[in-house]
Structure 1
């Protein structure tokens, strides 16, 4: 049975070659990628990431992805326009970190939330030389609002008049 099957397949391949169905295929004359290289079990994942132009960070477990994002925080907040946007960015990252800390999966890697005040301090320090180089307008005088009236903890009917 197997020999008859092989013979039938070979006959169809020979017929297709004679008809020219294998001529001008894409990749014809090019070397086979990976030939001569040692076998890699995850070759298909690597080729998928390369073909789709996806970052290889997607293959990392969650704690390592978070650690990498923590390392990249200064570069990512450098161009943000306001302090509030920096704090929002750090807040979103800390939300992801806390979510992972509540339900850890993957390897045990120490991941701690990012200190927003420290990131803002560094952000200000990097912006200070750039802001000092540009001429500043007259600073506007800011009037602090009046503090709210002090409320007594005594009930109204017990207060002295």
Structure 2
């Protein structure tokens, strides 16, 4: 049964080659990409990201994506036209951070909401500064949560001090 099937498939391929159906295919005459390189388990993910021109940050776990977004806040808000648009951007980012803090997944990474007032202050200072070569901007400051021991919340009768 399989020999008859193989023969039928081979006959169809030979007929398509004779009719020229395989001529002018994309990549014809070019080497096969990745041939001769060591095997990579995630080759298909990397090729998808490259083909679709997607950032590789999408592969990062959520807390690391949020940390990267926090680092990029000064660059993201630099061209926003109004203070309100800067505050809206920070509020949207803080909403994502709070949503992750309520239901964390991935590695344990400290991620705190961004202080909107600090971002606006930097945004104003950058707009009033004359156009000069801008040095690398430092990441946005985050609101520091007060340190709290893990046990104190479930021992209300215990004296805190």
Report the TM range for the smaller structure's normalisation: 0.7 to 0.9
- Residue 97 of structure 2 corresponds to which residue in structure 1? 97
Q: Give the corresponding residue for 2:112.
A: 112
Number of corresponding residues: 131
TM-score normalised according to structure 1 size: 0.72
How high is the TM-score relative to the length of structure 2? 0.72
Per-residue CA deviation, residues 28-80 of structure 1 (Å, 9 max, x unaligned), is 11111111111222222222222222222222221111111000001111122
Which protein, 1 or 2, shows the higher relative CO under an 8 Å CA cutoff with sep ≥ 6? Answer: 2
**Superposed CA offset, 1:138-160 (max 9, x none):** xxxxxxxxxxxxxxxxxxxxxxx
Aligned residue number for residue 17 of structure 1: 17
Give matches, 1:63-142, under 5 Å.
63-130=63-130
In 2, distance between residues paired with 1:56 and 1:64? 12
Provide the C-alpha distance between the structure 1 equivalents of 2:19 and 2:91, rounded to a whole number of angstroms. Answer: 65
CA displacement at 1:10 relative to structure 2 = 2.1
Greater C-alpha Rg: 1
Which blocks of at least 5 consecutive residues in structure 2 are unaligned? 132-161
Could you tell me which runs of 5 or more consecutive residues in structure 1 were left unpaired when the two chains were aligned: 132-161
Task: Give the distance between the partners of 2:24 and 2:130, measured in 1 at CA.
Answer: 59
Per-residue CA deviation, residues 81-139 of structure 1 (Å, 9 max, x unaligned), is 222222221111111100100001112111111111221222222223239xxxxxxxx
From the superposition, tell whether residues 12 and 70 of structure 1 become closer, same or farther in structure 2 (CA, over 3 Å): same
Distance change (3 Å), C-alpha of 1:95 and 1:11: same
Indicate the structure with greater helix content.
1
